[in-house]
Amino acid sequence: MTGLSQAQLSYFVNGKRTLTFTTAARLAGVLGLELKPKKKGEK
């Protein structure tokens, strides 16, 4: 679905790797979420 292997997801979840924005967006979509840019001044 996302093109993300189980190993890649495991590394990300365990803080050993990061995801590209494109991969994160695909993962969010599968989870029914949407990535949005932060508004200026938001943390």
Q: pLDDT tens digits for 4-35?
A: 899 999 999 999 999 998 899 999 999 999 99
**SS3 readout for 5-32:** CHHHHHHHHCCCCCCCHHHHHHHHHHCC
Q: Is the per-residue pLDDT at 41 higher than 90?
A: no
Q: What is the pTM of this model?
A: 0.69
Neighbours of 7 (CB within 10 A): 9
Q: Are 34 and 28 in contact (CB under 8 A)?
A: yes
Where do the structural domains in the chain lie, given as residue ranges? 1-33
**Residue whose tokens read 């029914």:** 32
Q: Is the per-residue pLDDT at 2 higher than 80?
A: no
Q: Is the per-residue pLDDT at 42 higher than 80?
A: no
Q: Is the per-residue pLDDT at 38 higher than 90?
A: no
